[in-house]
Amino acid sequence: MSQTAPWRHRGDRFRHPAKTITFAFAGAVAVGTGLLSLPFATRTGQRTDLVDALFTATSAVCVTGLVTLDTASHWSWFGQAVILLLIQAGGLGIMTLATLLTALLSRRLGLRARFLAQAETKSLDLNNLRGVIARIVLFSLVAEAVTTVVLTARLATVYDKPFGTALYEAMFHAISAFNNAGFSTHTDSLSRYVADPWICLPVVGAVILGGLGFPVVFELTRNWRHPARWSVMTRITVTLTVTLLLAGTAVFFVAEYSNPDTFGNLGAPASFLAAFFASAMTRTAGFNSVDIGAMRPESLFASDILMFIGGGSAGTAGGIKVTTFGVLAFVLWSEIRGEPHVNVGRRRIPTTNQRQALAITLLSIGAIVAATFTLVSTTVHSLDAALFEVISGFATVGLSTGITANLPTHAHLLLVALMFGGRIGPLTLASALALRERTRRFELPEERTIVG
């Protein structure tokens, strides 16, 4: 026992999946930063400032989309290829790729590898994890390929772009969309296609598919005709995704329809398309088809809410996730009704899930409040702009009112920390930094206190 204890103690910090995932994402960011710092990663052949390279690499790995340098004009083909690979790696998850590689090389998965991949993919089935990961990769590639084909055909036939250029732009935007990254090869993102449904809708479709989450997508493919058989996670995810998409569309349409700087000159059909596009993108995708900085305050506030909630668990979206928001909503409803338990349909939500949802939400609010206070105190930007930027970074959305590039260095580093923490999750980051897990072997006496 005395000979094995020290070995186990030194290895404990690397045995916890949350810690390993954190180190893996940090390693990917470091590699991306190094590659983007190379002279031939830029069009001018000059080295990129280290903070800008770090910011871009973090934004790509964390599938955010915030940029301090214009992707189209600053980065060379090599630099853009690095960004694309970082987006793909970050979207699928470093642990998913690592576990798939292990499966291909050894044709067997150890228990540790299974738990690592489960922590990243949120898969509920450990018995066939290799098959789950294979389906994740296959589904991702197929979704990106289909989106690429549609966009390529549109760009080549309607916009008269050379086939090679059309294919590259389509592939870049397809991968960026499915992984909810928001990086674009255009300076104005997708504003030039604001009224084109053959560009906007495929991008929205890829964003929604990537943001639903892999367990939900797999379950829907099996039981989409039988909603009664859906799990609690699928019910909450689908219901809230549809509700938030429709609510966001209505808010943006009403608020911006008469705004001459956004929807005012588009007409009703194009305005509805732009509103639907904006509603989908605030779910952590990051593309924009109109100038975000020109939106009215009510639209920015609605965007803050939608960005904070985010998309589905185990997908490429960020935010606190619709499942977290849904669990808290059911907790509130049960408390109002005086129910002793929190029930969703014919299922009861465990107390541990309720505590996790509350912890994630409070940690997220705390991070956002602290970061917003810092930006407002140390920059010249307004509260609205600072809050929007902070939520966009923490929820890995990538939308901006246009202040990202003009922020000082300390603000860029703050956003780097927010993007990194938001991607791996507040609880994952907290558990990764913890020295060890502690188990209490006794219960204290219960005492009620006044609440409210």
Domain residue spans of the chain: 12-432
- Decide if 319 contacts 311 (C-beta within 8 A): yes
Q: Please report, in tens digits, the pLDDT of each residue of the chain (452 residues total).
A: 444 444 344 444 445 566 777 888 899 999 999 999 999 999 999 999 999 999 999 999 999 999 999 999 999 999 999 999 999 998 887 657 555 544 444 444 555 555 555 555 555 555 566 777 778 888 899 999 999 999 999 999 999 999 999 999 999 999 999 999 999 999 999 999 999 999 999 999 999 999 887 778 888 888 878 887 888 888 999 999 999 999 999 999 999 999 999 999 999 999 999 999 999 999 888 899 999 999 999 999 999 999 999 998 777 888 999 989 999 999 999 989 888 888 887 788 888 788 888 888 999 999 999 999 999 999 999 999 999 999 999 999 999 999 999 999 999 999 999 999 998 876 566 555 454 455 667 777 877 777 77
Structure-token pair, residue 307: 């960005």
As a whole number of angstroms, the distance between CA 183 and CA 180 comes to 9
As a whole number of angstroms, the distance between CA 215 and CA 218 comes to 5
Which element (helix H / strand E) includes 299?
helix 297-309
Whole-prediction pTM: 0.88
Structure-token pair, residue 235: 């019910």
pLDDT at res. 183: 95
Q: Please identify which residue in the block is written with the tokens 């007409």.
A: 267
How far, in whole angstroms, is CA 179 from its chain's centroid? 8
Which element (helix H / strand E) includes 205?
helix 197-212
Q: Please identify which residue in the block is written with the tokens 């991008």.
A: 203
Q: Taking each helix axis from N to C terminus, what angle separates 297-309 and 232-256, rounded to the nearest 10 degrees?
A: 170
- Decide if 171 contacts 202 (C-beta within 8 A): no
Could you report the per-residue pLDDT of 220-240, keeping only the tens digit for each?
888 878 887 888 888 999 999
As a whole number of angstroms, the distance between CA 258 and CA 236 comes to 34
Q: Which residues, in sequence order, are CB contacts of 157 under 8 Å at separation 6+?
A: none
